[in-house]
Amino acid sequence: MSTLNVSNITDGTDTVETGYVLNGSAKVLLNADGTGTIATRDTLNVSSIVDTATGSMTINFSSNLANTDYISSGITNSWHSYVSSTAGNKTASSHRLQAGGSAHTLIDVAEMNYQAFGDLA
Residues 8-67 have pLDDT tens digits of 999 999 998 888 777 778 999 999 999 999 999 999 999 999 999 999 999 999 999 999
Q: Would you state the torsion angle of the CA atoms of residues 40, 46, 47, 51, taken in this order, to the nearest 10 degrees?
A: -50
In-domain check, residue 3: no
Domain span including residue 31: 26-117
For residue 85, pLDDT beyond 90:
no
In-domain check, residue 48: yes
Q: Which of 72, 92, 94 is nearest to 84 (CA)?
A: 72
Of residues 118 and 21, the one with the higher pLDDT is 118
Highest mean pLDDT pick, 3-12, 40-49, 77-86, 104-113:
40-49
Identify the pLDDT of residue 33.
Answer: 95
Q: Which of 114, 59, 49, 52 is nearest to 83 (CA)?
A: 114
The chain-wide mean pLDDT, for the chain, equals 91
For residue 78, pLDDT beyond 90:
no
Q: Helix or strand or coil: residue 65?
A: strand
In-domain check, residue 16: no
In-domain check, residue 51: yes
In-domain check, residue 2: no
Length of the chain measured in residues: 121
Angstrom distance (rounded) from CA 46 to CA 29? 7
In-domain check, residue 9: no
Number of domains in the chain: 1
pTM of the model: 0.84
